[in-house]
Structure 1
Amino acid sequence: MEGKLEEAAAVTNKTIKLKKIILIVCVFAFANSFAQTAQDTTKVYKKRVLETTEVDFLTSYYAQDGDNAAVSGGIGTEELTDITGTFVVSIPLNDDDVLTIDAGVSAYTSASSSNVDPFDDDSPADPFQASSGASSSDTWANLTGSYSHSSDDRNDIWSAKIAISSEYDYFSVGVGGSYTKLFNEKNTELSVNTNVYIDTWNSIYPSELRPFGENGNGLNNSLFTQNTITGNTNYTPRFNEFQDEGRNSYSLGLGFSQILHKNLQGSLALDFVQQQGLLSTPFQRVYFGDVADSFIDNFQLADAIERLPDSRLKVAVGGRLNWYVNEILSVRTFYRYYYDDWGINSNTASIEVPIKITGKFTLYPSYRFYNQTAADYFRPYEGALTTDEFYTSDYDLSEYTANQFGFGISYTDIFAKAHIWKLGLKTIDLKFYQYDRDTSFSSSIITAGFNFVMD
C-alpha cells in the first residue's frame, strides 16, 4: 500500500512539473508573440517622415536699376529684369526616405549686360542705354536631386544631393551632403553640411578687347576701321585672355539649435567657404585713372578687365532667435557677421513679425539691414591705376549700406479642400521686398509659392 502511495505521489509530482513547464513555455510564447506584435505595430504605425508626395511651385519677378554697372566700368545703367519659375517635388520612398527633385529656369533681360557689346546695333553706343545684342538676355537652368534618410526614432537624418546648372557663359556641377542629430527629447539639434561646386567659365570679353586677344588683329579690326575713335586715338588696352577658366568652391556649415522655452527657440550657425580658380568676371570693364580715355560714340573703351585673386576664403557666423508670443503673434530675429580675406566685413540684421489674422491667413511684415566695407581691390570709375595688380569696379564689392522692407501674406488650408487635378492646395505664399542701397542701386522682387499635396 505504501509503495502505491509513493508511486502516486511521484506521478503527481511529474504532472505538476509538466504543468509548470507547459506554463513557462506558454508564458515565453505569449511574451514573444506580444513582442512581435508590438514590433509589427511599431512598423505599421511609425510616423512617416513625409506622409504623401508634395509639389511646390515657386515663381518670382525681379527688377533692379542703378548707375554703377560693372560691365561698363562702374558707370552706366544697371537695369535688369528677371522672371523665375521653379518646381520642387518631394516623394516619400518609404517611411524613412524622401527623394526631392528641384528644377528651375530663370530668364532675364539686362540693359547692363547688353553692353558687353555696345556696338552691335545701329544706335550710338552709350553706357546708360541698352544695346539690342545677344548679351541683352539669357536663360539660366538648374536641376537638383536630393535624398534624405531618417532613423526610426527620427533623431538622425542624413542627406545627399547633386546639382547641375547652366548659363550662356558657365556650367556648374555640385555635390553635397548633411547630417543632423537631435537629442534631449528633440529639444537640441546639431547639424553639419558640406558642398563642393565645380564651375567652368566660357569667358566672354568686352567686344573692343577681343581684337587684342590671341590671334586678334588689334586696331585693324573692323570695329575700329568702321568706327571713329575719339579722345585718345592710340588705343592700347591691357588685355590677356584667362588661361584657366575653372572655379571650385568648397563649403562647410555647422549648426546648433536649442529650444530654450516652450515659446522660445534659438540657433547658431558657422559657415566656411573656400573658392579657387577664376574669380574675376571676364566681361566687367575697368578704366585706369592714369590712361587717357578713348571713345567710340558715347561709350568709353575699356582699359582692362576686372582682375581679382584666384582664391578667396569666406567666413560667416550668425544666430536666430524666434519668439512665439501667442497664437496670433510671433517674432523672428536674425543676425550674421561676415568677413573674407579680400577685406570685406559685413553685418546683417533682420526681423520678421508673423501676424495670424485668421485660422488660414497670416501676414509677414519684415525689415533687413545690411552694411559692408569695401574689398581691398575695389576702385570706383577711373580709380584704378596701371600699377595695381588687382582691380574691380563692381559696386557689389564697394562700401555701402542697404535697407530692405518686406511684406507677405500666407494662406494655409490644412485639409487641402481646393484641388487641381489630384493635388490638394495646402498653402499659398505671396511676398514683396523693396531693397535700396545708399549708392544709386535699388531693386524690388515679388515672389509667389504654392504648396500642393497628392491625394
Structure 2
Amino acid sequence: MRKIILFSIAIFLVKVGFSQDSTATYKKRVLESTEVDLLASYYTQDGNNAAVSGGIGTERLTDVTPTIVVSIPLNEDDILMIDAGVSAYTSASSSNIDPFDGGKKADPFQASSGASSSDTWANVTGNYTHSSDDRNKIWNAKVSVSTEYDYFSLGFGGSYTRLFNEKNTEISLKANVYLDKWNSIYPIELRPFAENGNGLNNRLFQSNTITGNQNYAPRFAEFQDETRNSYSVGLSFVQILSKRMQGNLMLDVVQQQGLLSTPFQRVYFSDVENSYIENFQLADAIEQLPDTRFKVALGGRLNYYLNETFVLRTYYRYYFDDWGINSHTASLEIPIKISEKFTLYPSYRYYSQTAADYFAPYEKHLSTEKFYTSDYDLSNFNANQYGFGVTYTDIFTSFKIWSYGLKSIDLKYHYYERNTGLTASIISGGFKFILN
C-alpha cells in the first residue's frame, strides 16, 4: 500500500512538472530579445514672423536631435523601455532676446550671436509595460524628466489596454501629468523695469541712444507664478473591420494651468509711440495669456490593405480649445512595398486653424487689452506638409555589430510650408538593432 501511495505521488509530481514545463514552452514572450533604436533628426526653418520680436523678424532655426531607445524584456510578460534624447538648437529668433549682445547693429531680421542664440534640451523617459498571460490586458507606466536652460519638466502617467473579440477589438485608456517650471528670461530692455530695477538709468540705455519716443516706459511686471501643470486623458478604440481594413477612433482631453505665456515674447501696441535702439524696436510689453487652457481633440484613422504592394493609411483630427482655436488635420500615407526588404512611404498632410482670441499681428494690439500675443503659432493659418521615406527591413538580421543584428533602417524627409511664409524641412533616420 505504501509503495502504491509513493508511486501515485511520483506520477502526480511528474504531471505537475510537465504541466509547468508545457506552460513555459508555449507562452510566447511579449518581446523576444533586447532592441536598440538609434534615432536622429535634423530640422531647419525660416520665416519673418518671430514671436520674440513681436511678430516681425527672422524665424531662422536649426535643431539636431539624437535619441536612443532601449527596450529590455524583463521576463515573458514585462518590458522596460528607456528613451533618452538631446536636442541642440541654434535660433536667430531667440538670439534676439538680447539683440544688443552680438557686436553687430541690432535688427529683428538679423541674428544676434549672444548667449541666447543656442540652447540644449535633454530628456529621459522610462516606460514599464506588463501584459497578462493571454495578452488581452496591457498595463503601462512611465516617468519622464526634461530640462533646458529656462525650463524643467517632470512627467508621469500610465495606460491600460484591453483586447476583445479574439483581439479584433481594442480599447485603451491613458492619463498623463506634466509638472513644469519656468526660469523666466525676459527681453533685455524690460529687465531694468522690473521691481527694484533702475529703469532708464540702466547701462543699456546710458550706453545707447534711444530714438523715436525717448521717454520709453514699457508695461512690465515679472511673473510671480512660474509653474505650468498639464493634465491629459485619452481614449482610443481600435477595430479590425475586415481582412483588409482597420479603424481607430481617438479622444484626447487636456487641461493646463499656470504660466502659459512665453516670458521672452514681445508685444507692440498700436497706441504707444515706438522707441528704438539702433534698428531694433523696444518692447511695449511681453505676451500675456490666460493661466488656464482646456483642449479637446477628436480623431480617427482608417487603414486599408489594397494588395501586397500598396496600403492606404488615412488620418483626420478635429481640435478646439477655450482660447478660440479650431483646427482640422488630414493626412494620407501610402506605403509601397517594392521588394521583400524595401518599402517606400510617400505622404501628405494638410492643417488649418483659426486664430486664438488673443492673437493680433505686429502693432495691432491696444494697450487697454488684458491678454495679447503676436505669436503666429496662435494665428489663423493653413499649412501643407509633403513627405517621403524609405524603410529597409531584414527579419534575419544578417548584418551584425557585436551581438546586435540590424533589423531595419528608416529614412524620411518632410517639407512643411505655411501660408504665413514659414517653411521648414526635417530629415530623420532610425536604425533598429536586436540582440541575437
Give the greater-gyration-radius structure (CA): 1
Q: 2:270 aligns with which of 263, 272, 289?
A: 289
Q: 1:259 aligns with which of 240, 244, 259?
A: 240
Q: CA deviation at 1:40?
A: 2.5
Provide the rounded CA distance (Å) in 1 between the counterparts of 2:280 and 2:94: 14
State the Cα RMSD in Å.
1.6
Query: CA offsets, 1:237-291, max 9 Å, x none?
Result: 0000000000000000000000000111000000001000000000000000000
Corresponding residue number in structure 2 for 1:122: 103
Q: Which amino acid aligns with 2:131?
A: S
Q: Which amino acid aligns with 1:229?
A: I
Alignment of 1:2-21 (within 5 A): none
Alignment of 1:3-152 (within 5 A): 34=15, 37-152=18-133
**TM-score, normalised by the number of residues in structure 2:** 0.97
Corresponding residue number in structure 1 for 2:285: 304
1:345 is aligned to 2:326: yes
3-state SS in 2 of match to 1:44: helix
Query: CA offsets, 1:57-102, max 9 Å, x none?
Result: 1100000000000000000000000000000000000000000000
3-state SS in 1 of match to 2:71: strand
Query: CA offsets, 1:388-411, max 9 Å, x none?
Result: 000000000000000000000000
Query: CA offsets, 1:409-435, max 9 Å, x none?
Result: 000010000111221100000000000
Corresponding residue number in structure 1 for 2:308: 327
Q: Which amino acid aligns with 2:69?
A: V
Q: CA deviation at 1:204?
A: 0.1
Compared with structure 1, are the counterparts of its residues 233 and 58 closer, same or farther at alpha carbon in structure 2 (3 Å cutoff)? Answer: same
Provide the rounded CA distance (Å) in 2 between the counterparts of 1:134 and 1:267: 46
Compared with structure 1, are the counterparts of its residues 125 and 332 closer, same or farther at alpha carbon in structure 2 (3 Å cutoff)? Answer: same
Q: CA deviation at 1:33?
A: 5.1
Corresponding residue number in structure 2 for 1:195: 176
Provide the rounded CA distance (Å) in 2 between the counterparts of 1:213 and 1:238: 10
Q: How high is the sequence identity, in percent, across the aligned residues?
A: 70
Q: CA deviation at 1:327?
A: 1.1
Provide the rounded CA distance (Å) in 2 between the counterparts of 1:158 and 1:30: 39
Query: Higher mean Cα deviation, 329-338 or 416-425?
Result: 416-425
Q: CA deviation at 1:121?
A: 2.3
Provide the rounded CA distance (Å) in 1 between the counterparts of 2:17 and 2:247: 41
Provide the rounded CA distance (Å) in 2 between the counterparts of 1:105 and 1:151: 34
1:179 is aligned to 2:133: no
Corresponding residue number in structure 2 for 1:444: 425
Provide the rounded CA distance (Å) in 1 between the counterparts of 2:213 and 2:435: 67
1:223 is aligned to 2:186: no
3-state SS in 1 of match to 2:22: helix
3-state SS in 1 of match to 2:170: strand
1:434 is aligned to 2:418: no
Q: 2:137 aligns with which of 156, 176, 196?
A: 156
Corresponding residue number in structure 1 for 2:218: 237
Provide the rounded CA distance (Å) in 1 between the counterparts of 2:185 and 2:50: 17
Q: CA deviation at 1:215?
A: 1.6
Q: CA deviation at 1:25?
A: 11
Query: CA offsets, 1:187-207, max 9 Å, x none?
Result: 000000000000000000000
3-state SS in 1 of match to 2:96: helix
**TM-score, normalised by the number of residues in structure 1:** 0.93
Q: Which amino acid aligns with 1:378?
A: F
3-state SS in 1 of match to 2:241: strand
Provide the rounded CA distance (Å) in 2 between the counterparts of 1:321 and 1:43: 37
3-state SS in 2 of match to 1:230: strand
Q: CA deviation at 1:36?
A: 5.2
Q: 1:409 aligns with which of 387, 390, 395?
A: 390
Provide the rounded CA distance (Å) in 2 between the counterparts of 1:241 and 1:387: 19
3-state SS in 1 of match to 2:21: helix
Query: CA offsets, 1:281-334, max 9 Å, x none?
Result: 000000000000000000000000000000000000100001111111100000
Query: CA offsets, 1:4-32, max 9 Å, x none?
Result: xxxxxxxxxxxxxxxxxx99999998688
Provide the rounded CA distance (Å) in 2 between the counterparts of 1:367 and 1:39: 52
Compared with structure 1, are the counterparts of its residues 300 and 348 closer, same or farther at alpha carbon in structure 2 (3 Å cutoff)? Answer: same
**Structure 2 unaligned blocks of 5 or more:** none
Provide the rounded CA distance (Å) in 1 between the counterparts of 2:9 and 2:197: 90
1:380 is aligned to 2:361: yes
Provide the rounded CA distance (Å) in 1 between the counterparts of 2:137 and 2:63: 39
Provide the rounded CA distance (Å) in 2 between the counterparts of 1:131 and 1:121: 5
3-state SS in 2 of match to 1:396: helix
Q: Which amino acid aligns with 1:433?
A: H
3-state SS in 2 of match to 1:365: strand
Provide the rounded CA distance (Å) in 2 between the counterparts of 1:277 and 1:30: 68
3-state SS in 2 of match to 1:364: strand
Q: 1:354 aligns with which of 315, 335, 354?
A: 335
Query: CA offsets, 1:106-139, max 9 Å, x none?
Result: 0000000000000112211000000010000000
| Structure 1 segments of 4+ aligned residues over 6 angstroms from their partners | 22-32
Provide the rounded CA distance (Å) in 2 between the counterparts of 1:35 and 1:141: 51
Provide the rounded CA distance (Å) in 2 between the counterparts of 1:270 and 1:36: 47
Provide the rounded CA distance (Å) in 2 between the counterparts of 1:88 and 1:159: 16
